[in-house]
């Protein structure tokens, strides 16, 4: 009890997270003008500059048609076609907001995720966010990186970004320094345990 890996210090999640799967985002489709009836094209995903997947799509007034190839655990590739219905809600100041309806649970969502059974909502796949799998130290490190980025650098050496008030800069730098101290104490405490 209380050994390495116990508690929330070091979680190695084997469960797939939202960030690890392909997704179809209705906001992206609308922004690109792909929701107009009769539009067709290809959606592709990249990771580190390398293409990791692509699908063909076609839109109509009521649904999005996805055509792609899929295989399960080394089997032969099979052609797959999915129809994903649209739903529209009225906005407060006019216009309409588009939604995708999950083919499994019929939930109105903005993003569908591609995994084993096609494109479904994150609730049907029970997909957690990557941050939900982080331990205490990981969260602190992410928080420190976020502050450094806001301060204008990913390293510990930074200068005040243009258009940032000195008061804001000093507050953020102080907060980042305190988080770094906590991280160092946590790491040193963990090292002393071994």
**Position 40 confidence tier, pLDDT thresholds 50, 70, 90:** very high
Determine the pLDDT at residue 106.
Answer: 94
Determine the pLDDT at residue 154.
Answer: 59
Distance in angstroms (rounded) separating the CA atoms of residues 130 and 185:
25
Average pLDDT over the chain reads 83
Above 80 in pLDDT, residue 20?
yes
Above 90 in pLDDT, residue 86?
yes
**Position 13 confidence tier, pLDDT thresholds 50, 70, 90:** low
Distance in angstroms (rounded) separating the CA atoms of residues 17 and 27:
21
Q: What is the DSSP secondary structure assignment for residue 152, as one 8-state letter?
A: T
Determine the pLDDT at residue 194.
Answer: 61
Element (H, E) at 81: strand 78-90
Q: What is the DSSP secondary structure assignment for residue 102, as one 8-state letter?
A: P
Determine the pLDDT at residue 91.
Answer: 92
Asked whether the beta carbons of 146 and 118 are under 8 A apart, the reply is no
Determine the pLDDT at residue 149.
Answer: 86
Mean pLDDT of 46-63: 86
Determine the pLDDT at residue 10.
Answer: 45
Q: For residue range 139-176, what is the model confidence (pLDDT) as tens digits?
A: 888 888 888 888 887 555 667 888 889 999 889 989 98
Distance in angstroms (rounded) separating the CA atoms of residues 119 and 102:
8
Determine the pLDDT at residue 82.
Answer: 92
Q: Which long-range contacts (CB under 8 A, 24 or more apart) does 72-79 make?
A: 72/116
71 or 24: which carries more pLDDT confidence? 24
Instruction: List, in order, residues 6 or more apart from 58 with CB less than 8 Å away.
Output: 38, 39, 40, 64, 65, 67
- Distance from the Cα of residue 120 to its chain's centroid: 15
Above 60 in pLDDT, residue 77?
yes
């Amino acid at each position: 009890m209380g050994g390495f890996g116990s508690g929330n210090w070091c979680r190695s999640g084997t469960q797939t997270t939202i960030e690890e799967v392909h997704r179809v985002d209705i906001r992206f489709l609308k922004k690109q003008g792909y929701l107009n009836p009769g539009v067709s094209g290809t959606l592709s995903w990249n990771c580190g500059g390398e293409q990791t997947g692509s699908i063909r799509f076609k839109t109509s007034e009521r649904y999005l048609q996805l055509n792609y190839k899929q295989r399960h655990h080394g089997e032969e590739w099979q052609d797959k076609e999915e129809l994903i219905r649209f739903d529209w809600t009225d906005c407060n100041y006019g216009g309409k907001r588009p939604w995708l309806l999950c083919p499994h649970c019929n939930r109105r969502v903005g993003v569908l995720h591609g995994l084993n059974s096609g494109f479904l909502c994150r609730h049907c796949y029970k997909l957690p966010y990557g941050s939900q799998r982080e331990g205490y130290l990981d969260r602190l490190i992410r928080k420190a990186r976020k502050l450094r980025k806001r301060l204008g650098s990913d390293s510990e050496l930074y200068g005040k970004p243009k258009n940032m008030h000195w008061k804001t800069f000093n507050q953020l730098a102080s907060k980042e320094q305190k988080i770094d101290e906590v991280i160092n104490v946590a790491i040193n405490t963990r090292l002393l345990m071994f």
